Amino acid sequence: MTDEQTSRPARDASTHDYWEHAAATHGTKDTDRYYRLDDVVAGGTLMTELEEQAVAVATGADSADPLGRVAGLDVLHLQSHIGVDGVVMARAGARVTCADYSATALARAQELAARVGVAIETVETDARALPASLHGRFDLVYATIGAICWIDDIDLWMRQVSLALRPGGRLVMVELHPVYQMFDELSPDIVCDFPYGGGEPLTYTGSGSYADPTSTEESTTTSYAHSVAEVVTGGLRAGLVVEVLEEHLSIAFNPRGDDVLTLGDDGRHRFLLGRGTRPGEPPQPLPVAFSFVARKA
Ligand SMILES: C[S@@+](CC[C@H](N)C(=O)[O-])C[C@H]1O[C@@H](n2cnc3c(N)ncnc32)[C@H](O)[C@@H]1O
């Protein structure tokens, strides 16, 4: 066994506790602004169009039917949280494994799978040290919005992705853009407190979550900044071949539910800072998300 397979990177207990609590509560309250699980059980999806299109590109599906070619594929939903997108892909015929370090999240994923009437496998693991049982097994590793900011070492994470993929398999990543991640709020002051990259940590104490802003449970979490260049370079170093790298200037939902994004008349959220050339003129939008699809050589 290599060191990578045997070593267990240190886990931040406080951040893990936060995820255990979030997993127990997400999708259980009327105030939840994101996890509408009844909609999923009724046949809907919570995948954004960015996630669907990344899956479509990775599988060669028509963009009008983005999950049309996942049937029969082995998919690892990495840092799956309560497994919603994994369950949706299982319903479309994929053989899905949800992996997360939160046992509660995985139990919730199994609960959702049972409600939807599909089977999924769940594996409790640190994403920085995937067990050998997951190596070389997957056509797709799917890791999206809010995954890599919890990872201190992006190169190590990318090596795990590469280990999990079969030759020719693909990573499907859709993430919040690191420029957007830098900003915490725009008023009354512009708060820009998160580094752009370098794996730099930010420790935050507060209450509420992106899905459940009403939660009063206080927690302390540490997240890490990775620039787009570091993500892509991590993939290249891990033996992945870049197929798609796209930066997005708008998104269909407000992922953090804060005032950093502005909702436009077209129903899309943009990161608008300052103004355009003349007073009163809207500024050009900054990037809010990126998609990265890469193939294991
Ligand atoms: C923001 S959630 C992902 C949300 C997901 N994209 C969704 O749509 O539901 C982040 C997940 O990463 C998991 N996580 C954080 N650090 C991890 C680690 N080192 N290993 C495995 N899972 C981790 C958390 O338990 C949590 O479920």
Which residue has its alpha carbon closest to ligand 1 atom 13? 79
pLDDT for the residue 7: 53
Write the DSSP symbol of residue 228.
H
pLDDT at 232 over 90: yes
pLDDT one-digit tens code per residue, 30-61: 889 889 999 999 999 999 999 999 999 999 99
Q: Ligand 1 in contact with 170 (CB < 6 A)?
A: no
* H or E segment and range at residue 180: helix 178-181
pLDDT for the residue 8: 60
The residue ranges of every structural domain in the chain are 3-176+196-250+287-296
Q: Ligand 1 in contact with 144 (CB < 6 A)?
A: yes
Which residue has its alpha carbon closest to ligand 1 atom 16? 150
Q: How far, in Å, from the CA of 186 to the mean position of ligand 1?
A: 26
Q: How far, in Å, from the CA of 23 to the mean position of ligand 1?
A: 9
pLDDT for the residue 165: 98
Q: How confident is the model at residue 90 (pLDDT cuts 50, 70, 90)?
A: very high
**CA 122 to chain CA centroid, nearest Å:** 17
Q: Ligand 1 in contact with 224 (CB < 6 A)?
A: no
CA–CA gap between residue 82 and residue 208 (Å, rounded): 17
Cα–Cα separations (whole angstroms), residue 179 to 72, 80, 192, 288: 37, 24, 10, 7
Domain 3-176+196-250+287-296, classified CATH 3.40.50.720, yes or no = no
Closest by CA to 89, choosing from 103, 107, 76, 105, is 76
pLDDT one-digit tens code per residue, 119-161: 999 999 999 999 999 999 999 999 999 999 999 999 999 999 9
Q: Ligand 1 in contact with 105 (CB < 6 A)?
A: yes
Q: Ligand 1 in contact with 32 (CB < 6 A)?
A: no
- Mean pLDDT, residues 97-104 taken together: 98
pLDDT for the residue 5: 40
Q: Ligand 1 in contact with 45 (CB < 6 A)?
A: no
pLDDT one-digit tens code per residue, 236-274: 999 999 999 999 999 999 999 989 999 999 999 999 999
Q: How confident is the model at residue 209 (pLDDT cuts 50, 70, 90)?
A: confident
pLDDT one-digit tens code per residue, 106-117: 999 999 999 999
pLDDT at 281 over 80: yes
pLDDT at 235 over 50: yes
Q: Which of 172-176, 205-209, 292-296 has the lowest mean pLDDT?
A: 205-209
Q: Ligand 1 in contact with 113 (CB < 6 A)?
A: no
Q: Which of 8-22, 125-139, 145-159, 184-198 has the lowest mean pLDDT?
A: 8-22
